[in-house]
A and B are shown apart, each in its own frame.
Chain A
Amino acid sequence: MSNALGAVQARKQAPQWRWPLVWVMLLVVSVVGMPAAEPLFHWIEPDARQVVYDRADFYVLLGRHLLVVGIAAIVTIVVGVLAGIAVTRQRGSDFLPLVGQLASLGQTFPPVAVLALAVPVLGFGTLPIIVALMLYGLLPIVRNTLAGLQGVEGDIKTAAHAMGMTPTQILRQVELPLAAPVILAGIRTSVTINIATAALGATVGASNLGDPIIAGIVNGNMAYVLQGALTIALLALAVDSLFELLQRKLHSRLSAP
């Protein structure tokens, strides 16, 4: 019976992988095959001498893009989730409104403004864009961590307490697992937005997939803009669909198997 069950589950799970695979493969194809698409871009931009961005290989740009987004994501996840946990504890509850407001403030600041303010302090390059992404990506994570933790039913927490679980045990074994889907949704929003926002880094000298876009705008070369935008879009779709997959996995683990 377990074999039959396994087969059914395998059949059910197969389509879950389909979209992430499609997007990742399209991304790889576009990154590797960009020079091969030269005739297509000639057709779009017949007057330009150069139609495929070649100041850096696309996979290098992709790698740098991922690095920037990745570093910002790790820092925001750690800071955001920890802040969310801290202010939902009894001792930190005084700071609950403050943290909520600070996180919102971070997102009302346009990333461009953060860049403008950060460059004089941090100089040109990768650091200012990481700071901008961190500020910008913090809100969804903090907000969802708060919503997730506050959404755990009072009865469940009371029972956990009354059974003799310590606060740390309650947090790790009850609250975090139950809040995980909501927190993950926040991380997904944050990372996906930041993949697009990271392109702004090109304006302050952080070389990434924003480079072709900026170069294209400066030189009036639509083909460059398209190449950058297409790759960023595919990257965002690939990462987003991977997160969706992760959410589904988590969901099926939390509810009945």
Chain B
Amino acid sequence: MIELTRVSKRFGDETAVNDISLRVPKGEFCALVGTSGCGKSTTLRMINRLIEHSEGDITLDGQSIGAYDPVRLRRRIGYVIQHTGLFPHWNVVRNIGLVPRLLKWSTADVQARVEELMDLLGLPVVEFSHKYPHQLSGGQAQRVGVARALAADPDILLMDEPFGALDPITREKLQEELAKLQARLHKTVVFVTHDMDEALKLADHLVVMREGRIIQQGSPLALLQHPSDPFVESMLGGLERGLKQAALTRVKDHMTSMGPTLPAQSRIPVNFSLRQALSMMLRDHTDRLTVVDQHDVPIGDLSLRRVIKEAQLDKGSIRE
């Protein structure tokens, strides 16, 4: 668990981070969102002491980070940055194995761990082991960056706009893989981004920052439903908010059981979002979809009225 209590950071006269408090429980994915210069990266770097905070308390599992030796602390925390920071003179295997080697693992253990991670991140060992960073595409390089961060199996993972420099298609793919990875590994993640869609897609807990302060924090759905001020609302996409909210709501929670009427032509898998359902309705010029399970067996109905009604009902109660 990471806990920041009334933390501030001043550079000379300038206050980069101003009196923020934040709690990230074990296994939770927390996204810090804001425009550039809002202090989100500074906040991230204070957690692994790349930057020392000026005021307040930062604790990991209840112990103040000041009590740790900074070098030991960092070896326990995974870190991923935008331009990967891979060492250009080391091949993929050596780059990934960095932290385990620093921790003096045996050569065999390091090798086994590196191969396990390459497997996990979809980097075939035979193909990539001996490649150098300049021989990788942006997406591949960032996979290596994530593998390096995970190498010593840290509980905490800090990610500083890790997908910011990637093309949209690669970015989306890596976002999906990160979500899957997180569902498997349950790391405590702090993720910095200026891309609200990315944050909404990945985060359990969303923190909106502006000029060094936290403006609002909560679950993505809670923020979408009740943005506390116009800035948060504009960050959340203004009029697009309805669609973003729909993107976070599953078809499963809104379908009705199969009625006596003939099933509709268009079929939507049960684990899709309401946003995808709406899109399908627009595409197929229909106001009714048949919901199917993973074996393509019809299990329910979803009507446009249902989608709209449920969305309205949600306004009152915050659901996740």
Contact = CB atoms under 8 A, between A and B. Distances in A.
Interface of A: 153, 155-156, 158-166, 169, 173-174, 177-178, 254-257
A162 B89 contact: no
B79 A163 contact: yes
A158 B135 CA distance: 22
Contacts of B85: 153, 155-156, 158-160, 162
A164 B78 CA distance: 10
Contact of B79 (A159, A169, A173): A159
B132 interface: yes
B48 interface: yes
Contacts of B87: 156, 159-160, 173-174, 178
A159 B102 contact: no
Nearest to B83: A155
A155 B135 CA distance: 18
Contacts of A178: 87-89
Nearest to A169: B102
A257 B88 CA distance: 13
B311 interface: no
Contact of A162 (B48, B83, B134): B48
Nearest to B45: A162
Interface stretch (B57-65, B67-75, B221-229, B281-289): B67-75
Interface residue range, chain B: 20 to 34
A164 B81 contact: no
A156 to B, nearest CB: 5
Contact of A155 (B50, B84, B99, B158): B84
Nearest to B79: A162
B254 interface: no
17 contacts: A156-B87, A159-B87, A160-B87, A162-B48, A162-B79, A162-B81, A162-B85, A162-B158, A163-B74, A163-B102, A163-B148, A164-B73, A164-B102, A178-B88, A178-B89, A254-B88, A256-B131
Given A159-B87, A164-B102, A256-B135, 14 more contacts: A155-B81, A155-B82, A155-B85, A156-B87, A156-B88, A158-B85, A161-B74, A163-B99, A163-B148, A164-B71, A164-B73, A178-B88, A178-B89, A255-B134
B86 interface: yes
Contacts of B86: 156, 159
B133 to A, nearest CB: 10
